[in-house]
Amino acid sequence: MKAATSALAIALPVGWYLLSPLFIDRVVEEELPAVAAEATAAMEEAMAEPDKRMEAPMPESDMASMRILAQGEFYDLAHQGKGRATLYELADGSRVLRFEQFKVLNGPELHVWLVPVDPVPNTVGREIAGYVDLGPLKGNIGDQNYDLPEALELGDFKSVVIWCQPFRVPFNAAPLNPP
C-alpha cells in the first residue's frame, strides 16, 4: 500500500506536467516592435499635454521602412497548427521572427527553433542537426515576436519549428521562403 501511495505521489505531478498543456491555452497578442514603440511615444507625448492640440498627425507606422526577409505558412508535423511565420528586418537593422494568426496544440516546454532544412522531417526522438533555439514559445495562440541574435546568419536556415523539448518532437514547421 505504501509503495502504491508513493508511486501515485510521483505519477500525479508528472502526469499533470505532461498533460495539462494539452488543455490549457496561452494566448499572446504582441504588436510588431517598431510599430508599438512609435505609437507609444506619440501617445505619451499627447498625454503629457492633454490640453494641447497636437499639430502633427499620429505617426505613420514604420512598416514602410521594414523589410520582409522570408516568410511561410505553418504545416502540421506531430500536431495540428496554423499561422504565418515572417522574418522582418526593422528600421534600426534589428531582425525579428513574427508569428501571426498563429495557433498550435499546446504542450510541455515548447520552443521556437530555426533549422537548416525544408521540409522539416518528423524526427520524433532526435533533434534536427544545426538548429538554433530562440527560446520558449510565448503562447500557443496569437501574434508574437522573437528577437534574432545580431550575429545569426539567416541564410543558413530554411524553416522555423515548434519543438517539444521533453518528447523531442517537432509539433509544426513553417518554411522561410524569400518574398
Q: Would you write out the chain's pLDDT as a tens digit for each of its 179 residues?
A: 776 565 555 655 555 455 555 568 999 999 998 754 444 455 566 656 766 665 655 445 555 679 999 999 999 999 999 999 999 999 999 999 999 999 999 999 999 999 999 999 998 999 999 999 999 999 999 999 999 999 999 999 999 999 999 999 999 999 999 99
pTM: 0.75
Torsion angles phi and psi, residue 143, rounded to 5 = -80, 135
Distance, in Å, from the CA atom of 168 to the CA atom of 17, rounded to the nearest integer, reads 16
CA–CA separation, 71 vs 88, rounded Å?
A: 9
pLDDT at 60: 52
Residue 42 C-alpha from the chain's centroid: 27
The three three-digit cell numbers of residue 15, written as one number: 502526469
| pLDDT at 123 (0 to 100) | 86
| Helix runs in 20-150, H state only | 33-48
Task: Quote the CA–CA distance of 136 and 8 in Å, as a whole number.
Answer: 30
User: DSSP characters for 124-149?
Assistant: TTSPPTT-EEEEE-S-SBS-EEEEPP
Q: Cell 518532437, residue? A: 169
In the three-class reduction of DSSP (H, G, I as helix; E, B as strand; rest coil), residue 111 is classed as strand
Give buried/exposed letters for 36-65 (b at 16+ CB in 10 A, else e). eebeeeeeeeeeeeeeeeeeeeeeeebeee
pLDDT of 17 = 53
